Structure 1
Amino acid sequence: MGWPEGYGRRVMAEVDSTNAEAARIVGGLGGPEWICALNQTAARGRRGRVWIAPAGNFAATLVMRPRETAAVVALRSFVAALALYDALAALTGAEAALALKWPNDVLLNGGKVAGILLEGLPNGGLAVGIGVNLIAAPPAEQVEAGAVRPVSLLEETGVRVSPEQMLDALAAAWAMREDSFVTYGFAAMREAWLTRAARLGEVITARTARDSVTGTFETVDAQGQLVLNTAQGRVTIAAADVFF
Structure 2
Amino acid sequence: MSPQIDIIAETGSTNSDLLARLAKGETLAEGYWLIANRQTSGRGRQGRAWLDAPGNFMGSTLVHLREGDPPVSSLSFVAALAVYRAASGRVARPETLILKWPNDVLLSGAKFCGILLEREGPFAVIGIGVNLAAAPRIAGRQTLALAAVGAPTDRNLFAADLAHSMADELARWREYGAGPLLARWEAAAHRAGSRLSVHCATGEKVSGTYMGLAADGALRLALDDGTTQVIHAGDVMLERD
TM-score, length of structure 1 as denominator length: 0.90
Letter in 1 for 2:63: M
- The percent of aligned pairs where both chains have the same amino acid is 34
- Gaps in structure 2 of 5+ consecutive residues: none
> Aligned pair 1:9/2:1, yes or no?
no
The aligned residue for residue 126 of structure 1 is: 124
Following TM superposition, by how much is the alpha carbon of 1:91 offset from its aligned partner in structure 2, in angstroms?
2.9
CA RMSD of aligned residues (A): 1.7
- Gaps in structure 1 of 5+ consecutive residues: none
The aligned residue for residue 22 of structure 1 is: 18
The aligned residue for residue 164 of structure 2 is: 172
Larger mean CA deviation between 198-207 and 212-221 belongs to 198-207
Contact residue 91 and residue 169 of structure 1 kept, 8 A: no
Cα deviation, 1:152-199, whole Å, max 9, x if unaligned, reads 1100x2123122111100011111111111000011111111111125
The aligned residue for residue 154 of structure 2 is: 162
Following TM superposition, by how much is the alpha carbon of 1:8 offset from its aligned partner in structure 2, in angstroms?
2.6
How far apart, in 2, do the equivalents of 1:239 and 1:29 lie?
32
How far apart, in 1, do the equivalents of 2:201 and 2:216 lie?
20
The aligned residue for residue 29 of structure 2 is: 31
The aligned residue for residue 55 of structure 2 is: 56
Letter in 2 for 1:186: A
Contact residue 7 and residue 31 of structure 1 kept, 8 A: no
* Structure (1 or 2) with the greater helix fraction: 1
Contact residue 35 and residue 60 of structure 2 kept, 8 A: yes
How far apart, in 2, do the equivalents of 1:178 and 1:212 lie?
33
Show the 5 A alignment for 1:87-236: 87-121=86-120, 123-139=121-137, 142-143=138-139, 145=140, 147=141, 149-155=142-148, 157-210=149-202, 211-230=204-223, 231-236=225-230
Following TM superposition, by how much is the alpha carbon of 1:95 offset from its aligned partner in structure 2, in angstroms?
1.4
The secondary structure found in structure 2 opposite 1:103 is coil
TM-score, length of structure 2 as denominator length: 0.91
Following TM superposition, by how much is the alpha carbon of 1:52 offset from its aligned partner in structure 2, in angstroms?
1.0
How far apart, in 1, do the equivalents of 2:143 and 2:231 lie?
25
The alpha-carbon distance between structure 1 residues 29 and 91, as it changes in their structure 2 partners (threshold 3 A), is farther
